[in-house]
Amino acid sequence: QVQLVQSGAEVEKPGASVKVSCRVSGYSLSKLSMHWVRQSPGKGLEWLGGFDPEDRETIYAQKFQGRVTMTEDTSTDTVYIELSSLRSEDTAVYYCVIWEGSEDAITLVRGVQTGGYNWFDPWGQGTLVNVSS
Amino acid sequence: EIVMTQSPATLSVSPGERATLSCRASQSVGNNVAWYQQKPGQAPRLLIWGAFTRAPGIPARFSGSGSGTEFTLTISSLQSEDFAVYYCQWGVSFGPGTKVDIK
């Protein structure tokens, strides 16, 4: 059974960067489509981006282009998300999640539905990032 | 961009009663909708994928239906542990959630 364990809470000042990690156990990271979703306090779920292992391509939500970087280290089965130029609105719980299903993340985000399915499962426990001066 | 909406925002239900939650997509998404349950301080948990397929370990009182643009999550007889927020999802888009609380 795949499990995702994330790094601990972070407190950062506006303008700084933060890097959150997510370690995968129970399956090979190289075969997984890892994504990141965040949740601002009292708010809903917002997708930041993800990695497609077949295309070896990372895709980011347009809102975060230029500020977010997702990387992986297959030697430790760990994925990372780094968000730069932090502002108070970035205060949120950040979750790593696995994209499952037959729909390809890259083509779906680019607007092409192929009639398949996708869902996010499992989720990491979440990492609180608090941006405060 | 496909936008997911949910109604109602809050649903007050008594234990043992049926709860019906709605999710609408701004354009057709076939059967590609998933549902999640989230309790305070916890990560979301997958309940349903493909509009009606229950995830492993999910009780039979949870059922999903719909296709195209209209989807429904039904909880047939609410248990105390079912009071939570429920989200629908298509692709990378999530609905704003429906909070099910105790009447």
Alpha-carbon distance of A15 to B75, in angstroms, equals 45
Three-state secondary structure call for residue A50: strand
pLDDT of A35 strictly over 90: yes
pLDDT of A106 strictly over 90: no
Instruction: State whether A45 and B55 contact (CB < 8 Å).
Output: no
Instruction: State whether A121 and B55 contact (CB < 8 Å).
Output: yes
pLDDT of A55 strictly over 90: no
pLDDT of B18 strictly over 90: yes
pLDDT of A111 strictly over 90: no
pLDDT of A109 strictly over 90: no
pLDDT of A26 strictly over 90: yes
Residue B38 backbone dihedrals phi, psi, to 5 degrees: -130, 125
pLDDT of A133 strictly over 90: yes
Q: What is the mean pLDDT of residues A103-116?
A: 86
Q: How confident is the model at residue B3 (pLDDT cuts 50, 70, 90)?
A: very high
State the pLDDT at residue A42.
Answer: 86
Amino acid at A5: V
Please indicate if any CB of chain B lies within 8 Å of the CB of A54. no
Q: Which of residues 77-106 of A touch B (CB under 8 A)?
A: 95, 100-101, 103, 105
Residues 6+ apart with CB under 8 A from A123: A4, A37, A95, A96, A97, B43, B44, B45
Q: Any idea which of A64-78, A103-117, A119-133 has the lowest mean pLDDT?
A: A103-117
Residue A71 sits at the vertex; the CA angle it makes with A80 and A11, to the nearest 5 degrees, is 30
State the pLDDT at residue A117.
Answer: 93
Instruction: State whether B46 and A119 contact (CB < 8 Å).
Output: yes
Q: How far is CA A60 from CA A12, A50, A51, B72, B87, in A?
A: 22, 6, 9, 29, 22
- Residue range B19-42, pLDDT digits in tens: 999 999 999 999 999 999 999 999
Mutation test of the interface with chain A: which of B92, B93, B98, choosing the one with the most A Cβ atoms within 10 A? B92
- According to DSSP, the β-strands at A57-60 and A127-131 are unpaired
Q: How many angstroms separate the first and last alpha carbons of chain A?
A: 40
Q: How many angstroms separate the first and last alpha carbons of chain B?
A: 36
Sign of the four-CA dihedral B4, B39, A24, A11: positive
- Residue range B35-94, pLDDT digits in tens: 999 999 999 999 999 999 999 999 999 999 999 999 999 999 999 999 999 999 999 999
State the pLDDT at residue A112.
Answer: 85
**Contact present, B66 and B19 (Cβ < 8 Å):** no
